[in-house]
Amino acid sequence: MTDAVYFTLIPTDNGHHIGQITLNAEKSLNALSLVMIRQIAPKLEEWKTNPGVVCIVLRGVGEKAFCAGGDVVSLHDAIKARDFATTDAFFKEEYALDYAIHNYPKPILVWGHGIVMGGGVGLMAGASHRVVTERSRIAMPEITIGLYPDVGASWFLNRLPGRLGLYLGLTGASFNAADALFVDLADFALPSTQRDAVLGGLMRLDWQAEAASNHYVLGKYLREHSRHGIPELAPSPIREHLDVIRALTSYEYIEEMVDAICRYDGQDDWLRKGAQRLSTGSPTSVRLVLAAQQRARHMSLVEVFAMELNISRQCCRHPDFAEGVRALLVEKDNTPRWSPATLAEVSQPFIDAFFIAP
């Protein structure tokens, strides 16, 4: 059986080591499974206390994706079997891993090439050095499967300008490398063809014994590469449409906001696709997106993860999550039967109950 994750210790020229973690599930676009989480978390902890390891590299196999999200098909199967011990463990351990990355003392370089969605964004968002390429495609598309933007998104989407984070959560809009740089969800853009050269060059850097010094060493190295090897990036649709997004989300009530977004009938493909995803998404997810971001506004990151753990555990015990995965990824009929079926039927007490631990 092939290992779901590869771990490699790469020696540097000055006697240290770089710890490389490679997600190895190419057929599923490196979807993050509980098995992978349980391999990565202890290895990060081990390397954190190993004075010989100076830097971590996190990447995925293949040319299509860094990580397309959590392994929601396996979660669907566990929900159908009413194996909530497994689903609870998945979210608890995934969020603990994401939180560890946010607080890791040593530099972590994430090569965010190709598809980076959902759980993949969770792995990338907290890393100290986040690299995107001309082929990066990033999104939090959980509204299409009856979930909501989790993995700390209630915290980092809240920090985007205006109500942009709310718009991205409601529409599941995909954004590119230029967008990621613009909204500070990435730090460097490099050509995908330079991956091996960039990662290989890490061995020759002047690594130090202190983690703070190594953050500087890695940042300087990537900055120099980005200045001399800037990829040709597609324009940023977020930057282009920021004023439109502000107008579409400048409503007091979620019903008005949803109506405004879904009524968009212009020629812009990016805005039309967002309207389409929202119009066919889970009504429960719509209210969860808003409620989670509202409650998280003044929370710390650890409080956000604790809140999201309650919501995600509840989502596994309500019908829409399993139904959304069934319709999109299992039976692929693209006709989810949401329950409740309309936004008007989703009451505030119903949503409030998602924030209470099962």
Query: What single string gives the DSSP state of each residue in 289-325?
Result: HHHHHHHHTT--HHHHHHHHHHHHHHHHHSHHHHHHH
Distance CA 267, CA 191 (A): 30
Q: Strands across the sheet with 108-112, in order?
A: 5-11, 17-23, 53-60, 108-112, 129-132, 188-189
Domain parsing of the chain, residue ranges: 5-355
| pLDDT of amino acid 62 | 95
| pLDDT of amino acid 231 | 78
pTM of the model: 0.97
Residue 345 DSSP label:
G
| pLDDT of amino acid 1 | 56
pLDDT < 70 stretches in the chain: 1, 229
The CATH code that applies to domain 5-355 is 3.90.226.10
3-state SS assignment for residue 343: helix
Q: Are 57 and 111 in contact (CB under 8 A)?
A: yes
pLDDT in tens, 204-258: 999 999 999 999 999 999 999 988 767 789 999 999 999 999 999 999 999 999 9
pLDDT in tens, 157-213: 999 998 999 999 999 999 999 999 999 999 999 999 999 999 999 999 999 999 999
The residue type at 29: L
Q: Are 285 and 320 in contact (CB under 8 A)?
A: yes
The residue type at 343: L
| pLDDT of amino acid 169 | 98
- The residues carrying an active-site annotation are 70, 119, 142, 150
Distance CA 89, CA 49 (A): 25
What is the distance, to the nearest Å, from the Cα of residue 92 to the centroid of all Cα atoms in its chain? 16
| pLDDT of amino acid 228 | 77
